[in-house]
Amino acid sequence: MTVADRPITTDIYGEEIELKPGDNYINHSKGILSWALTLDHKRIGLMYMVVVLLSFFLGGVFAIALRTQLLFGAASNITDDSVVGSATWNNLYNQAFTLHGAIMVFMFIIPAIPAILGNMVLPLQLGAKDVAFPRLNLMSFYCWMGGGALLGCLLVGAIIHLAFGGENAPAFLSYIPNGLDTGWTFYTPYSIQANNSVIFATMGAFVLGFSSILTGLNFIATIHMLKPKGMGWFNMPLFLWALYATAVIQILATPVLAITLLLLAAENALGIGIFDPKLGGDPVLFQHFFWFYSHPAVYIMILPALGVVSEIISVFSRKHIFGYKFIAYSSLAIALFGFIVWGHHMFTSGQSPMINALFSLLTMSVAIPSAIKVFNWLATMWKGKIRLDTPMLYAMGFIWLFTIGGLTGLPLAALSTDIYMHDTYFVVAHFHYVMVGSTLFAFLGGMYYWFPKMFGRMYNERTGKIAWAITFIGFNVTFFIQFIAGTQGMPRRYATYLDQYTVYHHISTLGSYILTVGLVMILVNWIMAKKGKRAPANPWGGNQLEWHTNSPPPHENFKYDPVGTDPYEYRDWKYDEKIDGYVLDPDHDPSNPEHKPAH
């Protein structure tokens, strides 16, 4: 019998322990209700994982649908009776990009790292039993489900309309929300002239927003109240700093979105005249309200990713993180600057040149803390002992994508060049590099990194590396070419395009298919890991507290109340070839009550 087959694993000291039913959080209790009503942050994290990945799949289906349409969208394919360029074609495309955006932003990227990895890891990194308010945590999960269901109604409605719509549509159809075609940004006045689906969508996003607010509140309270003995603000893992900065944005900015969406719904249903120019309202006011949330939301998406990468780079370089305080403060700086740059979305809207100048200057300032992080990661790798496992490959892929995404923000922050590039594919490529490329790669890297801890099994390293290469190539093929299309003037949100842009669209679509293959491979690898090798307590040699417990952790997380030490000091963990993991000498474990001080 091999080690993998025997129900035996090792604890943090490398001692064999026999696995018994009920000794970890996954098999701690049985039955649907034990999951649906769980207060365990780890189980809530897993439930988020299932539904958020499902949303990612749905959003991906729409992405592939619209990229496939764009294979055929050249103007020369349009004739009087062609499908290309017909009303149906355009409507399908407009609905596809709207739902792609809305699902990916509200249901995937925003919750991906905080709700899945944050829920899973934050209390563990604090050596705590759970978050500060476990019931609130469950409630935020159900807020997510409620908001998701409202957005799901739109999808179902669109399918019903597709099936029964047309010349002799039955009367009941008018009560069912049709697909949404306003774009995820809901710009007025188009969104107040559209059908009742806008109300469903805004209510969906409204409820999803509460999920985000409650999670943020919980994380802030947990980080303030539940730090263990020996852990101060400046020996917290950097992932916690990133989650803290994210949570600050979540609780300050998301209520503005809630207000905005309520006003939009009221405008739609009651015609209160705040955004509708016919009633004396101002459509650009909506853009200010919307981006006052949605620009900080970009940092809700990217900040946790920066935290994940800081962890991975240090652990896989086997070296203390370089410039801890600068990285921690730069997270806060990004969160702060993120609030005062929203106006750069309206450079062409006709707002005053002075406002434009201020927002341009403030936007530039975000580049500095971002650059600081990248330089600090490179300095951490310098003279390290770098192991190129899958999580590290994703972290390095992240640095590449984030560097491109960040640098291409410069011509969009500078005023004169933004006038040219605004609302072209250059912008599309830029925000996909930042939001999708960077956040997705950090999320995948984080999933691989904490996978052994979450499930107690190792994924297949070789498949992981191949899938990394495919996703990396697929992503860059899809989106790099869009920078070029954008500099050539290709406008965004176009269902059809001039023939001169055909090459760009074909290459981009090809890339999106490659990316899909890579993502499917990753999913298969994770599912196959069910039968993978049992993971040791600490496969990577990190000293953050989540590695100070078994894989997967027991229901109450730790055997002893852990004591915080420098999370980036790895020297006490010794490599054990037998288990391919790192073990701690019990005498060096300050958490162990029988601990004898060694130094």
Binding to other proteins in span 308-327, by CB under 8 A: 317-326
Instruction: Give the DSSP letter string of 345-357.
Output: GGTTTT--HHHHH
Q: Is 416 in the site for other proteins (CB under 8 A)?
A: yes
Q: Is 174 in the site for other proteins (CB under 8 A)?
A: no
Residue 82 beta carbon to other proteins: minimum distance, rounded to whole angstroms: 12
Considering only the stretches 11-19, 215-223, 229-237, 572-580, report the one whose residues sit in contact with other proteins under the rule CB under 8 A: 572-580
In 3D, which of 4, 15, 93 has the Cα closest to residue 559? 15
Q: Is 176 in the site for other proteins (CB under 8 A)?
A: no
Which residues in 517-546 contact other proteins (CB under 8 A)?
541
Q: Is 336 in the site for other proteins (CB under 8 A)?
A: no
Could you say which of 29, 68, 77, 90 contacts other proteins (CB under 8 A)? 90
Instruction: Supply φ then ψ for residue 523, to 5 degrees.
Output: -60, -45
287, 260 contact by CB (below 8 A): no
Cross-strand bridge partners of residue 491 = 424
Q: Is 381 in the site for other proteins (CB under 8 A)?
A: yes
Q: Is 235 in the site for other proteins (CB under 8 A)?
A: no
Cross-strand bridge partners of residue 581 = 576
Considering only the stretches 105-113, 195-203, 259-267, 496-504, report the one whose residues sit in contact with other proteins under the rule CB under 8 A: 496-504
- Written as six digits, the tokens of 302 are 């990217």
Residue 448 beta carbon to other proteins: minimum distance, rounded to whole angstroms: 17
Distance CA 25, CA 42 (A): 7
Instruction: Give the DSSP letter string of 485-541.
Output: HHHTT-BSS-SSB-GGGHHHHHHHHHHHHHHHHHHHHHHHHHHHGGGSPBPPS-SS-
Distance CA 94, CA 73 (A): 13
Could you say which of 384, 554, 586, 590 contacts other proteins (CB under 8 A)? 384
**For other proteins, the closer CB: 202 or 314:** 314
Distance CA 260, CA 287 (A): 10
- Please give the C-alpha separations between residue 172 and each of 160, 168, 169, 193, 203, in angstroms, as whole numbers: 11, 12, 8, 21, 22
Sort strands 8-10 and 581-584 into parallel, antiparallel or unpaired.
unpaired
**For other proteins, the closer CB: 68 or 403:** 403
Is omega for the bond preceding 21 within 30 degrees of 0, making it cis?
no
Could you say which of 165, 491, 586, 590 contacts other proteins (CB under 8 A)? 491
In 3D, which of 211, 238, 394 has the Cα closest to residue 304? 238
User: Residues 195-234: x/- map of binding to other proteins (CB under 8 A)?
Assistant: ----------------------------------------
Cross-strand bridge partners of residue 575 = 582
Residue 107 beta carbon to other proteins: minimum distance, rounded to whole angstroms: 21
**For other proteins, the closer CB: 116 or 328:** 328
Q: Is 413 in the site for other proteins (CB under 8 A)?
A: yes
Considering only the stretches 20-28, 171-179, 454-462, 500-508, report the one whose residues sit in contact with other proteins under the rule CB under 8 A: 500-508
Could you say which of 16, 499, 556, 587 contacts other proteins (CB under 8 A)? 499
Which residues in 265-294 contact other proteins (CB under 8 A)?
277-278, 280-284
Q: Is 385 in the site for other proteins (CB under 8 A)?
A: yes
Beta strands in 162-253 (DSSP E): none
Total number of residues binding other proteins (CB under 8 A)?
103
Could you say which of 187, 339, 431, 513 contacts other proteins (CB under 8 A)? 187
Instruction: Supply φ then ψ for residue 158, to 5 degrees.
Output: -60, -40
Q: Is 414 in the site for other proteins (CB under 8 A)?
A: yes
331, 242 contact by CB (below 8 A): yes
Q: Is 76 in the site for other proteins (CB under 8 A)?
A: yes
Could you say which of 87, 163, 171, 270 contacts other proteins (CB under 8 A)? 87
- Please give the C-alpha separations between residue 423 and each of 135, 432, 502, 569, in angstroms, as whole numbers: 43, 14, 19, 47
Q: Is 578 in the site for other proteins (CB under 8 A)?
A: no
Q: 521: number of CA atoms within 13 Å, CB side? A: 20
Which residues in 344-363 contact other proteins (CB under 8 A)?
348-350, 353, 356-357, 360-361
Q: At what angle do helices 390-407 and 283-316 cross, to 10 degrees?
A: 140
Q: 81: number of CA atoms within 13 Å, CB side? A: 0
Could you say which of 424, 476, 544, 557 contacts other proteins (CB under 8 A)? 424
Distance CA 208, CA 140 (A): 9
Q: Is 438 in the site for other proteins (CB under 8 A)?
A: no
Residue 528 beta carbon to other proteins: minimum distance, rounded to whole angstroms: 24
Q: Is 255 in the site for other proteins (CB under 8 A)?
A: no
Please give the distance of CA 130 from its chain centroid, rounded to a whole number.
22
Considering only the stretches 106-114, 188-196, 214-222, 508-516, report the one whose residues sit in contact with other proteins under the rule CB under 8 A: 188-196
Residue 229 beta carbon to other proteins: minimum distance, rounded to whole angstroms: 23
Residue 173 beta carbon to other proteins: minimum distance, rounded to whole angstroms: 15
Residue 298 beta carbon to other proteins: minimum distance, rounded to whole angstroms: 19
Which residues in 12-71 contact other proteins (CB under 8 A)?
none
